[in-house]
Structures are given as structure tokens and as C-alpha cells.
Amino acid sequence: MNVSDILQRFKSALLSIAVEGPPHYDCGRVIVRGDPNGFRFLASLLQEMADTVSSSNQPASRSGWHLGLKPEDVPQLRMNNAILVLDCDPSMAPQ
């Protein structure tokens, strides 16, 4: 499965990501809210990235995978003035 397939499969998913902090909270927090399909959507993206970077026959196994998602391009994603950036770096894997 690729990112386009995941976006299509979960096109009705809802996921919001917010960063909040004082005065509402004692420290900064990343808050992820969504319906079950929203969480499956995010999990599928993370799984696809991890599987691709872990596969030695993929170019990403050497260079990693950097993915930036803007709410304008991904209707499932709700964020204000931000881009969700996911970096899967093979050099950070335990040796």
C-alpha cells in the first residue's frame, strides 16, 4: 500500500492534531483527537513508512522517508497553521 492508497482508503476519517500549553496546561502538549478511522489512518501511514524504511530492497532503507502533510492536501487532517511532518530515519534504528 502507498500513501495515495491510504488517503483513499481512509477518506472519511477524521483526525486533528493540536499543540497546546499554558495557560490551559502546565506544559506543552501535542493532542491527537479523531474517530477510530482517523487513528487507523495515522497508524497505516506510520506502518507503511516503517515497513518501507525497514525493507533493504527499498531506496528509503538508506535515506529514510520524510513526509509532510498539509490539511489543504489531506482533508482527513485538521490542524491550524501547521504541517504534520513524519520522519522515519533508518540511522535511528537500534543496532
Q: Are 51 and 3 in contact (CB under 8 A)?
A: no
In this predicted structure, what is the pLDDT of residue 95?
A: 54
Strand-by-strand arrangement of the 77-78 sheet: 29-34, 15-20, 77-78
In this predicted structure, what is the pLDDT of residue 40?
A: 96
In this predicted structure, what is the pLDDT of residue 75?
A: 87
Question: How many whole angstroms separate alpha carbon 70 and alpha carbon 23?
Answer: 27
Q: Are 48 and 22 in contact (CB under 8 A)?
A: no
* Domain count along the chain: 1
Residue numbers of the domain that contains 53: 3-92
pLDDT profile of the chain (95 residues), mean per 10: 88 91 85 95 94 91 92 88 90 67
- Model's pTM, two decimal places? 0.83
Closest CA to 66 of 49, 82, 86: 86
In this predicted structure, what is the pLDDT of residue 8?
A: 92
Collapsing DSSP to helix, strand or coil, 48 comes out as helix
